[in-house]
Structure 1
């Protein structure tokens, strides 16, 4: 299970601020004369419907070889960065995971983390039900670090009035994963949609819309 790229700030149930992925993909298609109708669905349902040929596009997905049996992917249009977060005052850079021996690291149950983190023999990994629970635990000193998707974590902090800069992402990132749109191979329009999207993404990069949308959402996602 990936981090919630089907949640804020990637997809938001708010017409005025519909989400980073929603705006980028919608504007890319709009430059080619297409208007998307957004429906927010649970991840597993959206995935199954796309696999079985519903005429729909999954806006933000991670690539996997297993998914290519039924699904076709665009080129990446974003990157999703997983970071360790710490309280303010913690050294902002690290060399390797060995720097964190004996540290208590909060995880979210059933999320996909880099194997180097999950299999490290000298880290104490403590799962919780939600990212917000881990953010509160980190604030209160009940864990030393948490692992989270950078934009999602910083947006969650903003939405829950956690002081900006009180919890910081450490560098370098634990992992960087490309984000794609995804279409079912059984969809007869799959090739058309991917071609239109690539042309539209090139157009919004050239006309400055891509950079403007990124700036709009990064302003809410800075430590």
Structure 2
């Protein structure tokens, strides 16, 4: 009992210190171009930091994974987690999306493939990202079950080189991730000519999950502020040129 009381006092002390310093601990997973350099940079990291800074709050990013992220936000070791926590979790607080992921299929323009719907993936060699079947749902899973080759690669930066080497007929990834990696590899002009994008998926909203509603509300005020003053668009443009 003595140790439990001591632990409780320590937790309260940490919370007060963090609240006094107005700093939130945010867990993020590596996800170029949204989370880069150990979480310190990236579209999502910059948006989160800018939104909170507009409300007088500092941000400390911790590189994490989905399981650890959810656990530490729930137990109070962290204040929020980006994109890795199920949004139907009743113990946490969500509101406005930080950003929308726009998944696309990408093919080599020279192949002249026509993909107007997910069902057209059947019979093709598909290179996807981790957990694509879960993220994109039953229709995608059914289509790729009839593909001649299907693989999910851990590093999305390897998808375009694999496509360039004809190891697949198409890759599936977020549109901004494609822009980021393709411009690194080939430059903007060459990329436009080399690749064709097929918009066959609906956008997916990615949210920040908080352990209390006051923190969530403060972030949402900041998010609205940077959307209105142009900072949000400037952050996205700085990474993708859009």
Superposition TM-score tier, normalisation by shorter sequence: 0.7 to 0.9
**1:50 maps onto 2:78 in alignment:** no
Unaligned runs of 5+ in 2: 1-27
Greater share of helix: 2
Q: CA contact under 8 A between 2:69 and 2:84: conserved in structure 1?
A: no
Equivalents in 2 of 1:140, 1:55: separation in Å? 42
Equivalents in 2 of 1:109, 1:205: separation in Å? 31
1:211 counterpart residue number: 233
- Please report how far the alpha carbon of residue 19 of structure 1 lies from its aligned counterpart in structure 2 after TM superposition: 0.8
Q: CA contact under 8 A between 1:13 and 1:40: conserved in structure 2?
A: no
2:120 counterpart residue number: 99
Q: CA contact under 8 A between 2:29 and 2:64: conserved in structure 1?
A: no
Match of 2:221 among 199, 215, 219: 199
- Please report how far the alpha carbon of residue 44 of structure 1 lies from its aligned counterpart in structure 2 after TM superposition: 2.7
Equivalents in 2 of 1:133, 1:32: separation in Å? 38
Match of 2:107 among 74, 80, 86: 86
Q: CA contact under 8 A between 2:97 and 2:206: conserved in structure 1?
A: yes
Q: CA contact under 8 A between 2:127 and 2:152: conserved in structure 1?
A: yes
Write the deviation string for residues 21-75 of structure 1: whole angstroms up to 9, x where unpaired. Answer: 111111111111111122222333222211222242213446542xx13322121
Q: Point out 4+ residue stretches in structure 1 off by more than 4 angstroms.
A: 90-93, 159-163
- Please report how far the alpha carbon of residue 197 of structure 1 lies from its aligned counterpart in structure 2 after TM superposition: 0.9
Task: Tell me the secondary structure at the aligned position of residue 207 of structure 2.
Answer: strand
RMSD (Å) for aligned C-alpha atoms: 2.8
Unaligned runs of 5+ in 1: 185-189
Give the count of matched residue pairs.
208
- TM-score computed with the length of structure 1 as normaliser: 0.79
